[in-house]
């Protein structure tokens, strides 16, 4: 099944009004830049209007034009096999970059879909590349982001190859917790913007397995789930269940 061409999910360019871009870089991007460099970068990036759930940032196979940073909301990226199966490759939250794997290609190798009302910053890649030739620190920041993503994908390979279903779900919840915490939100109470189906797909599990493990974890007082709302009740035990910590070795040796 061929990849469908992009519908009018997004306006071609979000806005020609570059009015209030000030601070956008520090708000959206995981870049550490001198303020004058940030100002220059702000001139080439555009903030999207709120994107509706279900829309696409880009489709697999479409020409690569830009990378994105999430400003608010969440996004999933996924590849589609020739057999038509979908594999989610990542979930992205505010301050995280999307589309890095498309760099150096003509077409996006993945699709990016909006999970809830979301705003993003669009960074047209040719402008970015031109600018970064004058500002080496820009490229350096991009390289850092890519390195981080590489490490995350390696951890994901490990999860998919070696971890049990329980370990996968625990790892997933803890990873989300960490990311929310880093953003200043609660590390123990949050809302899952993705469906059970999407969690299962991402973790290489059937929906039913995810559901069962949520129930089991709840029974074990590890978590409290109610629909999309999740509370992590016992982070330490979750860490053990995830395979990241062990009973016999303390977290800080």
Residues of this chain that bind DNA (CB under 7 A)? 164-166, 195-197, 200, 204-212, 214-215, 225-228
Q: Cβ closer to DNA: 131 or 165?
A: 165
Summarize as ranges the residues that interact with a copy of itself (CB under 8 A). Answer: 79, 81-83, 85, 87, 89, 100-105, 109-110, 129, 132-133, 136, 139-140, 142-144, 146-151, 153-158, 160-162, 201, 203-204, 243-246
Binding partner selected for residue 207 from DNA, a copy of itself, none, CB under the kind-specific 5 to 8 Å limit: DNA
Buried b (16+ CB within 10 A) or exposed e, 16-30: eeeeebeebbeebbe
Rounded CA gap, 174 and 235, in Å? 8
Count of CB atoms situated within 10 Å of the CB of 152: 12
From the list a copy of itself, DNA, none, partner contacted by residue 101 (C-beta under 5 to 8 A by kind): a copy of itself
Cβ 211 to DNA shortest distance, Å? 3
Q: Binds 166, which of DNA, a copy of itself, none (CB < 5 to 8 A, cut-off by type)?
A: DNA
Given DNA, a copy of itself, none, residue 195, with its beta carbon under 5 to 8 Å by kind, binds DNA
Q: Distance from CA of residue 91 to its chain's centroid?
A: 3
173 and 94 in contact (C-beta within 8 Å)? no
Residue 128 neighbours by CB under 8 Å, 6+ apart: 41, 44, 67, 138, 142
227 binds, among a copy of itself, DNA, none (CB under 5 to 8 A by kind): DNA
Q: Tell me whether residue 123 or residue 170 sits nearer to DNA (CB atom).
A: 170
Please name the residue ranges forming H helices in the chain.
24-28, 35-44, 125-134, 136-162, 165-182, 196-203, 207-219, 235-242
Helix or strand (DSSP H, E) at 92: strand 86-92
Q: Closest approach of Cβ 36 to DNA, in Å?
A: 43
């Amino acid at each position: 099944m061929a990849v469908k061409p992009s519908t009018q999910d997004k306006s071609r360019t979000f806005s020609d009004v570059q009015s209030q871009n000030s601070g956008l870089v520090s708000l959206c991007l995981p870049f550490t830049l001198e303020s004058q460099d940030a100002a220059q970068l702000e001139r080439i990036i555009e903030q999207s209007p709120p994107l509706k759930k279900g829309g696409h940032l880009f489709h697999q196979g479409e020409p690569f034009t830009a990378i994105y940073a999430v400003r608010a909301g969440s996004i999933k990226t996924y590849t589609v096999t020739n057999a038509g199966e979908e594999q989610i490759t990542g979930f992205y939250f505010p301050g995280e970059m999307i589309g890095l794997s498309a760099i150096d290609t003509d077409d996006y190798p993945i699709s990016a879909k909006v999970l809830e009302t979301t705003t993003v910053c669009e960074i047209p890649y040719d402008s970015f590349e031109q600018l970064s030739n004058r500002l080496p620190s820009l490229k350096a920041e991009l390289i850092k982001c890519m390195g981080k993503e590489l490490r995350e994908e390696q951890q994901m390979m490990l999860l998919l190859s070696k971890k049990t279903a329980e370990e996968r779900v625990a790892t997933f919840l803890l990873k989300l917790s960490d990311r929310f915490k880093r953003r200043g939100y609660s590390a123990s109470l949050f809302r899952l913007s993705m469906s059970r189906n999407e969690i299962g797909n991402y973790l290489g599990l059937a929906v039913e397995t995810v559901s069962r493990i949520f129930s089991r974890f709840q029974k074990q007082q590890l978590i409290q789930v109610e629909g999309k709302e999740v509370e992590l009740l016992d982070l330490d035990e979750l860490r053990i269940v995830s395979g990241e910590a062990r009973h016999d070795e303390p977290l800080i040796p």
